[in-house]
Amino acid sequence: MELIARKKIDVRFSEVDSMGIVWHGSYVKYFEDAREEFGRQYNFGYLRMFEEGFFTPLVKLDFNYKKPLIYGDKLIAEIRYKPTEAAKICFEYIIRSAKDESVMVTGSSVQVFMNKAYELVWIKPNFYLDWQSEHQVL
């Protein structure tokens, strides 16, 4: 089963450079917006992680730029959960133009589990195993 979420976003003035093109750092925000939407849709948000006793810091983040977005564009941030046997959370992203759904940026991220003592957790927490089972993504 694939778990996918999509979020429409307007490109804001604060996200572009002096040429009106989306600044590369803004894609981090778009990926984050997609992760938050995924969390809402699948009960897998940051507050739940924290309530379960964990932080989930990013340890890897990749971008592949295909076409520029400009001020005033509308985009669709799509996120896809990628199951793994390891104690980590992997996502793939596609940023599309809302106008014609053409691919503008692709990317991926990896998050790990850290307990509240800031120690890396090497085995999947029980709540994560339960969530994977519930969504049939083990």
Any idea what the CATH number is for the domain that residue 75 is in? 3.10.129.10
Tell me, yes or no, if 10 is annotated catalytic: no
Q: With respect to residue 137, please indicate whether it lies within any of the assigned structural domains.
A: no
Q: With respect to residue 56, please indicate whether it lies within any of the assigned structural domains.
A: yes
What is residue 135's predicted lDDT score, i.e. its pLDDT?
97
Q: How many domains does the chain have?
A: 1
Q: With respect to residue 135, please indicate whether it lies within any of the assigned structural domains.
A: no
Catalytic residue among 17, 62, 73, 130: 17
What is residue 1's predicted lDDT score, i.e. its pLDDT?
83
CA distances from 61 to 35, 98, 108, 113, 135 (A): 13, 23, 6, 16, 24
How far apart CA 120 and CA 138 sit, in angstroms, is: 21
Q: Is the pLDDT of residue 46 over 90?
A: yes
Q: With respect to residue 136, please indicate whether it lies within any of the assigned structural domains.
A: no
Q: What is the mean pLDDT of residues 3-20?
A: 97
Query: By C-alpha distance, which of 63, 41, 64, 54 is closest to 87?
Result: 54
Per the CB < 8 A criterion, the answer to whether 30 and 77 are in contact is yes
Q: What's the token pair of residue 18?
A: 């002096």
Considering all CA atoms of the chain, what is the largest pairwise distance in Å, rounded to the nearest integer?
48
Buried b or exposed e, range 67-89, using 16+ CB within 10 angstroms: eebebebebbbbbbbeeeeeebb
Q: With respect to residue 76, please indicate whether it lies within any of the assigned structural domains.
A: yes
Q: With respect to residue 118, please indicate whether it lies within any of the assigned structural domains.
A: yes
Q: With respect to residue 57, please indicate whether it lies within any of the assigned structural domains.
A: yes
How far apart CA 24 and CA 7 sit, in angstroms, is: 19
* pLDDT, mean over the chain: 97
Query: By C-alpha distance, which of 95, 53, 54 is closest to 78?
Result: 95
Domain that holds residue 75: 4-130
Q: With respect to residue 71, please indicate whether it lies within any of the assigned structural domains.
A: yes
Q: What is the mean pLDDT of residues 15-37?
A: 96
The pTM is what? 0.94
Which class for 116: exposed (0-12), middle (13-18), buried (19 or more C-beta within 10 A)? Answer: exposed
